[in-house]
A and B are shown apart, each in its own frame.
Chain A
Amino acid sequence: DTEVTQTPKHLVMGMTNKKSLKCEQHMGHRAMYWYKQKAKKPPELMFVYSYEKLSINESVPSRFSPECPNSSLLNLHLHALQPEDSALYLCASSQDVGGAGYTFGSGTRLTVV
């Protein structure tokens, strides 16, 4: 298995909703990442998990809450989002941290209404 699987592919949520994005990989990768991508922009790093521990939080608002239950799973819990949080959320994994190259999932397209 050489893929990163993200669910759901599309999500529409209200500003008072709580939802979660899920990411799964079975490549034995030890680093996992959340990125946010707005239209016609490059991906922006949000969080990095290394060996199931949060190693980087790029000053992301607390309405985004990451969780890494085990080495294969990564979640992003969403609560009280704003319309400007609408974007493509990408998960990625890599063999290890340090620029080895990422495998990206196909993303969750989130719309906040």
Chain B
Amino acid sequence: GDSVTQMEGPVTLSEEAFLTINCTYTATGYPSLFWYVQYPGEGLQLLLKATKADDKGSNKGFEATYRKETTSFHLEKGSVQVSDSAVYFCALGNRDDKIIFGKGTRLHILP
């Protein structure tokens, strides 16, 4: 079945460092891909999405490109801030009315 694999955390970086969180997927057909962010004590927020190959989603300085050839959707940000500390979930949406989440990556940014 469809699945999402993302790098294990926690990831700890210093402020202004470059961030990459790896995500790969397995799916039949052409899923939509998402990154969600969850701040402590809150629900999930859609951070960015891409609906077809080579699309780039971007928001708040974060970017991810839908790579069909490598079945990847890695999240990147050029300069992280303390306020980016959260849990990040990579996810895919298929035709079965479901969104399938990866296990989540906890990000800690040190001042």
The residues of A with any CB-CB pair to B shorter than 8 Å are 6, 31, 40-43, 45, 48, 50, 55-56, 88, 90, 92, 97-107
* Docked CA distance A6–B99 (Å): 20
Interface residues on chain B, size class? 20 to 34
Whether A56 pairs with B97 at a CB distance below 8 angstroms is yes
Residues of A within 8 A of B60 (CB): none
29 A-B contacts (beta carbon < 8 Å): A40-B104, A40-B106, A41-B103, A41-B104, A42-B101, A42-B103, A42-B104, A43-B44, A45-B98, A48-B97, A88-B43, A92-B44, A98-B94, A98-B97, A99-B93, A99-B94, A99-B95, A99-B98, A100-B32, A101-B49, A101-B93, A102-B46, A103-B46, A104-B36, A104-B46, A105-B43, A106-B42, A106-B43, A107-B42
- Report B's interface with A, CB cutoff 8 A: 31-32, 34, 36, 42-46, 49, 89, 92-95, 97-99, 101-104, 106
A103 to chain B, nearest CB (A): 7
